[in-house]
Amino acid sequence: MRILAVDTSCDDSCAAILDTQSWKLLAESVYSHTAPMKKFGGIVPEIASREHLKALPLAVEDCLKQSGLNLEDIDWFAVTNRPGLIGALLVGVSYIKALAFAVQKPFSVFNHIEAHLFTPLLATLEGKESPAFPWTALVVSGGHTELFHVKNTLDFQWLGGTVDDAAGEAFDKVGKLLELPYPAGPLIDRWAREKATEEDRKIPFPRSKIEGLQFSFSGLKTAVALKIQKTDLSQETEKLAILASAQEAIVDTLIEKTRKAALETKSSQIVVTGGVACNSRLREKLHEAHFPAPKHCTDNAAMVALLAGLYAKEGKLQPSLWTATAHSTGEF
């Protein structure tokens, strides 16, 4: 079976095609909307929706070209319908519904976080080993910071998450305070890696003491804002010390809670995914963890195609309904 999947949950228009028989990814494509968001210093939901209208058909076309397939060769369509920016999700769901209707094939809707959760299994599409279950999975992006106990394929339990900002949001907000362009996460990572010394990382920004397996990053944002009031940002060394120390506080917090979760659930593996999983300091300090390839940590549709493929393998792939009643019964 050939599955065409798309993801439009945030500001990336993503498409991918999976062949479940050969268990191979035939194509993938991502169009990021970071350029139009730069002048606003963050994501504007309405602009993301309009960008998806332009870029999603291009991403799907790319995938058909890469795989040498026509739309009629697709057997099943998949799309994420939650969680995310509602207007952006609506573009993806409407688009997939239209494609599926045009070629009279079924489609199914999926949870974006569940798709992130199983990205380590993308390795199996390249004939490689994936980490052994059970895992403790940290899904850490611009919109989410959540811990899960992943017992087996499609079998998982939520353990805890952020009560305020997501870790990626904390990176981006610290960057904004330091007058860095959006998204600041990758820039902070690069500057800290290339220019910061041990000494630069030593500003004692707070590590939240919130209980259990919860996270909180709003206190860090305030601490950085207060520090900046007393700092001459025209001095690059001062700026560098703030960003490197803020990164250290975020990374340490993520690591402490993730290791605690792994210990409590007796997991044999830690898996980290989502955009912040690209962070090199996190990769270095949480050295025992499995990190998927960076292009599959950030938003992508390969993970959605894979999730649909896993549902198919387990005999759990259910078609969604065409009719308007699907909306009123809460399916979307």
DSSP state of 276: G
State phi, psi for 151 to the nearest 5 degrees.
-80, -35
DSSP state of 71: G
* Cα gap 134→266, rounded to integer Å: 8
Shortest CB 116 distance to Zn ion, Å: 6
Is the peptide bond prior to 83 cis by the omega test (within 30 degrees of 0)? Answer: yes
Shortest CB 149 distance to ligand KG4, Å: 21
> In sequence order, what DSSP letters do the residues of 82-123 get, joined into one string?
ESS-HHHHHHHHHHHHHHHHHTT--EEEEEHHHHHHTGGGGG
* Cα gap 250→240, rounded to integer Å: 15
Shortest CB 268 distance to ligand KG4, Å: 25
Nearer to Zn ion, 200 or 299 (CB): 299
Per partner kind, with CB cut-offs from 5 to 8 A, the member of Zn ion, ligand KG4, none near residue 238 is none
| Footprint of ligand KG4 on 183-242 (CB under 6 A) | 183-186, 189
- What residues form DSSP beta bridges with 12? 32
> In sequence order, what DSSP letters do the residues of 13-48 get, joined into one string?
EEEEEEETTTTEEEEEEEEE-HHHHHTTTS--HHHH
Shortest CB 274 distance to Zn ion, Å: 6
Among 25, 60, 276, 305, binds ligand KG4 (CB under 6 A): 276
Shortest CB 139 distance to Zn ion, Å: 8
Type and span of the H or E element at 159 = strand 155-161
Nearer to Zn ion, 141 or 245 (CB): 141
Nearer to ligand KG4, 162 or 279 (CB): 279
Shortest CB 49 distance to Zn ion, Å: 17
Residue 332 burial (CB < 10 Å; 0-12/13-18/19+)? middle
Binding status of residue 92 toward ligand KG4 by CB under 6 A: no
How many residues touch ligand KG4 (CB under 6 A)? 19
> What residue type is assigned to position 12 of the chain?
D
In this structure, are residues 74 and 17 in contact, taking their beta carbons and an 8 Å threshold?
yes
Per partner kind, with CB cut-offs from 5 to 8 A, the member of Zn ion, ligand KG4, none near residue 114 is none
Per partner kind, with CB cut-offs from 5 to 8 A, the member of ligand KG4, Zn ion, none near residue 134 is none
How many angstroms from the chain centroid is the CA of residue 192? Answer: 22
Binding status of residue 143 toward ligand KG4 by CB under 6 A: yes
Binding status of residue 273 toward Zn ion by CB under 5 A: no
Residue partners of 10: CB distance under 8 A and separation at least 6 = 43, 48, 84, 85, 88, 142, 143, 299
Closest Cα to residue 161, out of 260, 270, 257? Answer: 257
* Cα gap 120→273, rounded to integer Å: 8
Shortest CB 316 distance to ligand KG4, Å: 25
Nearer to ligand KG4, 113 or 203 (CB): 113
- Listed ranges 57-65, 140-148, 284-292, 318-326: which one lies at the site for ligand KG4 (CB under 6 A): 140-148
Helices (H), 159-205: 167-177, 184-195
Per partner kind, with CB cut-offs from 5 to 8 A, the member of ligand KG4, Zn ion, none near residue 160 is none
Binding status of residue 141 toward Zn ion by CB under 5 A: yes
Binding status of residue 81 toward ligand KG4 by CB under 6 A: no
- What residues form DSSP beta bridges with 76? 3
Among 7, 19, 114, 299, binds ligand KG4 (CB under 6 A): 299
Binding status of residue 114 toward ligand KG4 by CB under 6 A: no
Per partner kind, with CB cut-offs from 5 to 8 A, the member of Zn ion, ligand KG4, none near residue 142 is ligand KG4
Residues that bind ligand KG4 (CB under 6 A): 10, 141-143, 168, 171-172, 183-186, 189, 274-276, 278-279, 298-299
Residues that bind Zn ion (CB under 5 A): 141, 299
